[in-house]
Amino acid sequence: MSFNSKNRNSSQKSSLIPKIEEDGDISSQTEGPLAINVLELPKPFKNPSYSNSKRIKSAKQLISAEKTRDWPSNFPTMWSIAQPPSLKPAHKYCDVTGLEAAYKDPKTNLRYHSAEIYKAIKILPPGSEQAYLSIRNANVILR
């Protein structure tokens, strides 16, 4: 399913946020005037007996659960409206520089722009070509 081909965001999120050393000045503002702590706001409008105890399911789980239902053929669902794979041949670009690539290294499967880039590819440490390939989801995934 093409939908799941890019599910990197959620997994990477936590690691990409900058971890900055605790700074006394800034963190004291939590209780200061700049930020509102939602837990301390008055919420008279809420039903006091309501409590949400549902387990949180991932997008993948939710979608595969809904897919099993008996949908009418022309009903627009999340998966039925997805754009199908391109029928046109994809343009090829150099995996290192992003320039147009006329060549492909059969050893690493990397596409490259010119002989100069090929030289650089040849001295890549073994295995590091996978990082380049993973950008366009062409890396080898061992299971």
Partner 1 sequence: MKHQKVFNAPEIPSKTETQKIFNDYSSFRNGVPIVIDFGSKFCRAGWSTEEQPRLHFENIISKFKNRKGSSRNVVLVGEDVYTDPMGYSNIRSAFDSGVLNNFDIVENTLDYIFSTMGIDDSSVNHPILMTEPLANLYSSRKNMNELLFECYAVPAALYGIDALWAYNFNSRSNTLDKDGIIISFGNYFTDIIPILDEKPRVEHAIRLNIGGNSMPEFLLDLIKIKYPAFPSRVSEYQSRELVKNHTFFALDYKQELGSILEKKSLGDFDHIIQFPFRHISTNEKTKEELELQEEKRRENAKNLQKIAARIRQEKLERKEIEIVELQSVLDQINDLESTDSNSVRNLLRDNDFDSKEELEAEIKKIEGSLKRARYKDLGIDPNEDKEPPKLDLLEVPDDQLDQDQLKEKRKQKLIKSNLDARDRIRQAKLEEKRKQEEEIKKDLDLKTNNFEVWLKQLKDKRQSILDKIEAKNALKSELSNRRSQASQIRLRNIADLASNESNNSGSKRKRQEEFEDNFGEDDNDWNIYLDISKENLEDEEDDPEAELIQINELLFENDPEYLNSLDRMEKDKIENTILYRFYSGDQEAILEKPAVPKNSKSQGSISKNASVSSNLDNSTCSVKLEDSDVEIDEDTASNNDYNNNNGSSCPPRRSSIFSTELDEVNELIARSNQIHLNVERVRVPEILFQPSIFGIDQGGLVEAIENLWKNVPGLLPVSAKNIFITGQGFSKTPGLQDRLRKELTSILPVGTPLNIFMSTDLESDAWRGAAAWTRFLSNGANHTNYINLIEPFSISRVLYNECGSEYLKENAFSNKYHNFS
Q: CB of 15: closest distance to partner 1 in angstroms?
A: 9
Which one of 68, 84, 127, 141 is in contact with partner 1 (CB under 8 A)? 84
Query: Hunting for tokens 């490259």 — which residue is that?
Result: 112
- Binding residues among 15-34 for partner 1 as defined by CB under 8 A: 16-23, 26-31, 33-34
Q: Cα 60 vs. chain centroid, distance in angstroms?
A: 13
Q: CB of 98: closest distance to partner 1 in angstroms?
A: 4
Q: Does 141 bind partner 1 (CB under 8 A)?
A: no
- Binding residues among 44-73 for partner 1 as defined by CB under 8 A: 44-47, 50, 52, 54, 56-60, 62-63, 65-66, 69-72
Query: Alpha-carbon Rg of the chain, whole angstroms?
Result: 25
- Token pair for 15: 């690691």
Q: CB of 40: closest distance to partner 1 in angstroms?
A: 8
With beta carbons less than 8 A apart as the criterion, state whether 104 and 84 touch: no
Pairwise CA distance, residues 89 & 127, whole Å? 28
